[in-house]
Amino acid sequence: MLELPASITKGRLSDLVETLEIDNAHATVSISLWGAQIMSFKPKHDGRERLFKSNKIVLDGSKSLRAGVPVCWPWFAQREGYQKHGYVRIRNWQVLSATESDDYTEIVLSPLDMVGKGFDGTAELSLTVRVGRSLSITLTTTNSGKDAFEFNTALHTYFLVDDVNDVELKGLSGKYSDKTRNWAMLETPEPYRFTEETDRIHLNPVKHVTIVEGDAQIGVESAGHDSVVVWNPWAENSANMRDMGPEAYLRMLCVETAVTQGKTLQANESHSLTQIIS
């Protein structure tokens, strides 16, 4: 591994999960190199953790990590016979570059191996993580082959809340497709609150969404997306998930910056998907 600047140290959560711990003037962040999954973001100006990490997180590789910002690529959601949300979330990633300045620390990661069952394209992928007062995450897909390919992708972020019953989501509008109602197309509610299992693909790709809970807010800014996905499994599903448990759904709200409608890249073309958390 290349030499890391002073604001980055290495850590380890299990045999499999090696981490990079960033601690600079603005924030602390923890990133698992397995999946390039950012698991913690705590800005120093308010000391409030923004990302959910399950107490029952599985660290032995038998499933993906229930923490922070899973990277979904090259498909979104379940595909019969394949890893849900694609395979790069269960791959080892390497550090391509790591730099720091007064304003931020920046790390660029890429998967050690890009080839996977279910995807025939030739692609390069990089995740740029910029840790400052806010956390900026950009996933760049480049078609490095000769033929066009289509893909979907998401920054599938599990946000930490105190109690999802007290949360209001602001900024979404237009129609959404509801997985819990056989993909019915429905109008975004106003106010947007949580009282049941919620699994929605909002097809109006708004730029700013705010998670509001009392005086606390989390800002979610998106770019390069065609959808914003909102998910909470609610009590029964949460209880049945081996890495969640009966109470965990109360502390988690998933708001995703996503491409769910298929994006085609011609040879040499690139696409960037960005989520900025504040």
**Concatenated DSSP letters for 51-98?**
B-B-TT---SSSS---BSB-EE-S--S--TTS-TT-SGGGSBEEEEEE
Of 88, 90, 229, 252, which lies in the binding site for ligand TA6, with binding defined by CB under 6 A? Answer: 229
Q: How far is the CB of 35 from ligand TA6 (least distance, A)?
A: 11
Specify burial of residue 187 (Cβ count, 10 A radius: 0-12, 13-18, 19+): exposed
Q: Interface with ligand TA6 includes 197 (CB under 6 A)? A: no
Of 42, 84, 175, 271, which lies in the binding site for ligand TA6, with binding defined by CB under 6 A? Answer: 84
Distance of CA 198 to the CA centre of its chain: 17
CA–CA separation, 234 and 198 (whole Å): 7
Using the structure block, give the residue that is written with the tokens 């269960």.
90
Using the structure block, give the residue that is written with the tokens 């947007």.
192
Of 85, 91, 225, 263, which lies in the binding site for ligand TA6, with binding defined by CB under 6 A? Answer: 85
Q: Which is nearer to ligand TA6, 27 or 67 (CB)?
A: 67
Q: Interface with ligand TA6 includes 175 (CB under 6 A)? A: no
Residues from 94 through 153 that contact ligand TA6 (CB under 6 A): none
Q: How far is the CB of 85 from ligand TA6 (least distance, A)?
A: 5
Q: Which is nearer to ligand TA6, 39 or 95 (CB)?
A: 39
CA–CA separation, 187 and 92 (whole Å): 40
Q: Interface with ligand TA6 includes 4 (CB under 6 A)? A: no
Cβ atoms 29, 19 nearer than 8 A: no
Q: Interface with ligand TA6 includes 179 (CB under 6 A)? A: yes
Using the structure block, give the residue that is written with the tokens 């949460």.
238
CA–CA separation, 161 and 167 (whole Å): 8
Report CA torsion sign: 37, 172, 221, 50.
negative
Choose one: 25-33, 77-85, 121-129, 217-225; the region binding ligand TA6 (CB under 6 A). Answer: 77-85
Structure-token pair, residue 62: 């038998």
Q: How far is the CB of 229 from ligand TA6 (least distance, A)?
A: 5
Q: Which is nearer to ligand TA6, 53 or 85 (CB)?
A: 85
Q: Interface with ligand TA6 includes 59 (CB under 6 A)? A: no
Q: Interface with ligand TA6 includes 77 (CB under 6 A)? A: yes
Q: Interface with ligand TA6 includes 199 (CB under 6 A)? A: yes
Structure-token pair, residue 217: 């807010």
Q: How far is the CB of 161 from ligand TA6 (least distance, A)?
A: 16
Interface with ligand TA6: number of residues (CB under 6 A) = 10
Closest CA to 134 of 68, 45, 253: 45
Binding site for ligand TA6 (CB under 6 A): 64, 77, 84-85, 156, 179, 199, 229, 231, 256
